[in-house]
Amino acid sequence: MINDEKLTLLVEKIKEVLPKKESIPLHEPSFIGDEWKYVKDCIDTGWVSSVGKYVDLFEKKLADYIGVKRVVAVVNGTAALHIALKIIGVQEDDEVLMPSLTFVATANAAVYCGGVPHFVDVEERTLGLDPYKLNEYLHEIAIIKNNQCYNKITGRRIKVVVPMHTFGHPADIDPLLEVCERWKLIMVEDAAESLGSFYKNKHTGTFGKISAISFNGNKIITTGGGGAIITDDEDLADLAKHLTTTAKIPHSWEYVHDMVGYNYRMPNINAALGCAQLEQLPKFIKKKRELARKYKEALRDISGIRFFEEMHFSKSNYWLNTLILEKSFELKRDELLKALNESGIMSRPIWYPLHQLKMYKNNPKMDLSMTEKLSQQIINIPSSMGLWRGSNE
């Protein structure tokens, strides 16, 4: 039986945190800096496409902020992850370990390389890959041959593990790195959602050999579309830049290509938008963390609802604020979603687990009991920077 009183209380408590508007989206961009100035400069000078000063500037500023040697800006986060997996050596029939509880692009990027997504479980405390369960699983199904990891059941090589930092909350990276070392795996981080998030005072995306970030319109900063490959490996960065610019050999007028490349270049006009957004990133993170604090305070006395918080070893950008529905809560997820959305508060469930999608249902997978449990418990609530009702600072 639905407890209407508790439902009403929850909706009202969320409303207390939010501005008094008829409709509040889940996450929208905020343009409060020099976005128009930089974009107008592109238009005025005619440098709107794949060449221009803002691409180089955006890559440099982003590398400085994250703390890596190189950034390669591309058209979206999926393209960034595709190229990262490709140049790290994912080949036809290689298995790529990844959470089933992630956005579909994580799996798609592996398939673009001819790889096989192999789904592993997540842990409740971080929503990221469970390193301990993964290690036990590999003891059951994997073997080391010629200093490489192979699946004893399928016979395929297991090449890479891809942790994803869910909703901006860092996965527990150190034990995952130990698993990678033990099982001869390469880590490629899907940091699409975690720009501005830190694990043990080090930015996400800097632990793997190479990683990917997204700047889609709903991310913490946006370039309209857009993504980036990040790495400390200069050779990998040079190869990523070459492949994403159609593998064209530099020349003043000739068009000679030496590899099968991809037209994944970020246009200058998008990079201009990104430069302005990046200048606002510290302010955005401050606002989002304050919004998360307000949600936590507002919901603390409602039994059966847990506001998801960062772990002690991490600092999250709180990209999407998250509620966990616990067993004692009498409302069903879909009824809660209906109540929130009908109140003008756009809310959504987490992504459908990838191992349950028709194109991936026959892929290799471990026990995914936590994934399946969390997929029914998680709700995202409005998280835009502009929702913070503090000072104008």
At 1, the pLDDT band (50, 70, 90 cuts) reads very low
| Same structural domain, 340 and 244 | no
Each residue's pLDDT tens digit, 146-192: 999 999 999 999 999 999 999 999 999 999 999 999 999 999 999 99
305 and 166 in a single domain? The answer is no
- Domain CATH for 381: 3.90.1150.10
In a domain, 393, yes or no: no
Instruction: Kindly report, residue by residue over 25-78, the tens digit of the pLDDT.
Output: 999 999 999 999 999 999 999 999 888 899 999 999 999 999 999 999 999 999
Quick count: other Cβ atoms within 10 Å of Cβ 74? 32
Quick one: 109 and 140 in the same domain?
Answer: yes
Q: Are 211 and 313 found together in one domain?
A: no
Residues 309 and 274 in one domain: no
Give the chain's domain count.
2
| 202 is a domain residue | yes
Task: Among 226, 244, 278, give the residue marking a domain's end.
Answer: 278
CATH number of residue 202's parent domain: 3.40.640.10
CB under 8 Å to 68, separation ≥6 — which residues? Answer: 203, 205, 206, 230, 231, 232
Pair (228, 320) in one structural domain:
no
Helix (H, G, I), strand (E, B) or coil at 236: helix
Query: In this predicted structure, what is the pLDDT of residue 108?
Result: 98
Interval 253-299: pLDDT, tens:
999 999 999 999 999 999 999 999 999 999 999 999 999 999 999 99
Phi/psi for 208 (5° steps) reads: -80, 165
Residue 392 has pLDDT above 50, yes or no: no
Instruction: Give the residue numbers spanning the domain of 268.
Output: 35-278
Q: Pick from 251, 278, 305: which residue ends a domain?
A: 278
Please check whether residues 256 and 309 belong to one and the same domain: no
Please indicate, yes or no, if residue 392 is contained in any of the structural domains: no
